[in-house]
Amino acid sequence: MTALPNSALTERSAETRARILDAALREFAAHGLAGARTERIAEAAGVNKALLYYYFEGKEKLYVAALETIATRIRESNMAIFQSQASPGEQMLRMALNHFDRIWTQREFQSLMQQEMMRIKEGQPGHIEVLAEKAFKPMLSLYQAQAREGIANGELIDVDWMQFMLAGFGANVFYFLSAPVWRLISGEDLLTPDALAHRRKTLLDFLGQTIFRDRQHGAELAARVYADTPMPAAGPGPNNFFSGR
């Protein structure tokens, strides 16, 4: 049998590790750290359990690696927006829409984030610092810098920069969190494709009219961002935002 070259072995090792991490993300999102089973992870990844321990030593380290993986994906998505040639105001719009779409599609991330928040609330040791360091800190510093640049150059209204984030991100979180209760109160399902498409557009329309000094400029940017960012399909996996459905 011809031995594989080192480059092929390295590539195969990376592919195996990636399969294990993808399987682990699904398992941890569905069952949490305590309820996850390495046997199910290994089976889903198509590897034996010994190989799983070879790469990650144990369930705790595999969990941390899974958090780092999903946090890196979120960071890269955010960084792509900040590295674009768009104005600060357009970047604010794109960040708000990206956040909306992430809640809807990145269900594994949302589930893991909520699990970590619950562990903190209950006084249990957790790993939320992984998400904070890998995903949120880089985004926050860039968001703050761009918001202040937009205020300084006159594109954005002169308010505390954090209010831009609260207006966009906070509204998104409340929308999804309140969906099960809203359905009970009004009978309206906020999570149908039509409802989501409407809310995405309304989010941008609202921000275009509120955070820009020139409302016409804001409206035009909002329309362009919406037009060139199709609504993604929902990803598989659990999400506690939808537990009331």
Contact 66, 24 (CB under 8 A): yes
Contact 68, 79 (CB under 8 A): no
Tokens of 132: 């904070």
Q: Which CATH superfamily is domain 8-57 in?
A: Homeodomain-like (1.10.10.60)
- Residue 212's φ and ψ, nearest 5 degrees, are -105, 140
Residue 98 to residue 77: CA distance in whole angstroms: 8
Fold of 63-232: Tetracycline Repressor; domain 2 (1.10.357)
What pLDDT, on the 0 to 100 scale, is given for residue 236?
Answer: 53
The secondary structure of 158-197 as a DSSP string is SS-THHHHIIIIIHHHHHHHHHHHHHHHH---TTSHHHHH
For the stretch 33-45, pLDDT in tens is 889 999 999 999 9
For the stretch 169-224, pLDDT in tens is 999 999 999 999 999 999 999 999 999 999 999 999 999 999 999 999 999 999 99
Q: Kindly tell me if the per-residue pLDDT of 143 is higher than 50.
A: yes
Q: How buried is 87 (Cβ within 10 angstroms: 0-12 exposed, 13-18 middle, 19+ buried)?
A: middle
What pLDDT, on the 0 to 100 scale, is given for residue 243?
Answer: 43
Contact 200, 94 (CB under 8 A): no
What pLDDT, on the 0 to 100 scale, is given for residue 124?
Answer: 77
Q: Kindly tell me if the per-residue pLDDT of 4 is higher than 50.
A: no
What pLDDT, on the 0 to 100 scale, is given for residue 111?
Answer: 86
Q: Kindly tell me if the per-residue pLDDT of 86 is higher than 90.
A: yes
* Cβ neighbours around 128 below 10 Å, total: 16
CA distances (Å), 51 to each of 81, 103, 218, 219, in order?
A: 37, 33, 53, 54
Q: Kindly tell me if the per-residue pLDDT of 14 is higher than 90.
A: no
Per-residue pLDDT, averaged over 3-27, amounts to: 75
What pLDDT, on the 0 to 100 scale, is given for residue 5?
Answer: 52
Tokens of 47: 């590897």
For the stretch 126-142, pLDDT in tens is 788 888 888 888 899 99
What pLDDT, on the 0 to 100 scale, is given for residue 53?
Answer: 87
CA distances (Å), 206 to each of 87, 88, 97, 122, in order?
A: 18, 17, 12, 37
- Residue 81's φ and ψ, nearest 5 degrees, are -70, -45
Per-residue pLDDT, averaged over 213-236, amounts to: 91
What pLDDT, on the 0 to 100 scale, is given for residue 147?
Answer: 96
Tokens of 196: 């989501």
Q: Kindly tell me if the per-residue pLDDT of 52 is higher than 90.
A: no
Domain boundaries defined on the chain: 8-57, 63-232
